[in-house]
Structure 1
Amino acid sequence: MSFSDHFPDRRKLYDFVRNTVGVLLVSSRVKQVLDDLQVDNTEFLPIVICDHQWRELTGDYGILNVLGSQEAIDMGKSAYDASVLSSEISHVSSLVLTQGKIDPKADIFRARNMMELILISDRVKLAFERAGLTGFRARPAEGFDDMFA
């Protein structure tokens, strides 16, 4: 992966790297925090990050693939738009979590009806903050509106 020529001023690497590909691109520091917490439902797929001229940059980065999903979205109470091509949610404007259906031991997971939505426990959020991970931003799940993510 490389930095975009369209954003020449955005060349700094963070522990969480925003990207236009829609993947969770993270440093090995993120993986280490999850390993220390014994979170076992993620895989770290190493990649090489290059600058605008495709020169390899230093750092240990990868795609964090979150495995598994939970029935986290209350479909009756949430406000959302359904995809015309599948049973997936294409946009959520007010998220309401299901009560009693999310495994209390789930620290990081995808929402079953909106697989690109990744939810984390307070335990993981606090560990990320304590580790001083950069580029990380968490929003409360209840009332979440993906237009402002």
Structure 2
Amino acid sequence: GYLQERIRYKAKKHGIEVNPAHSSRECPRCHCTDKKNRRGDVFKCSYCGYHEHADLVAALNILGRLGDKEIRKGMSPSRVKAVLDGRHVGWKLLNDTVTDRTSDEARVVDESPRSASSKSELRSGVQVCTAS
């Protein structure tokens, strides 16, 4: 408990508090927040297949939320989920997926995860348009 308290204290002192809601279930690549994504220490996205140690995924998501203008510290977890669901829909619109004929799973053509900085750039620079 002491270490967690000190981390919270230092984070608040330096203005780096973020909302951690759904950070351990959010895929850092496609923003899918399916409950099946995390099983113990293993994270495997049920949508795009991204996999990594679950604690590392949560840390990447928290890092990616620094300076996030949509997800604020006091937001309810359901509101955070709504924002993440919107990002997942946007990611699906921007990325080509193909069906793996042997397993019928969707997989991403570009398998490399985005860095936290490009993730923030993607959030701020994307506009979804519909044809009229």
Q: TM-score range by the shorter chain?
A: under 0.3
Q: What TM-score results when the alignment is normalised by the length of structure 2?
A: 0.26
TM-score, normalised to structure 1, is 0.24
Structure number with bigger Rg: 1
Which of the two has greater strand per residue?
1
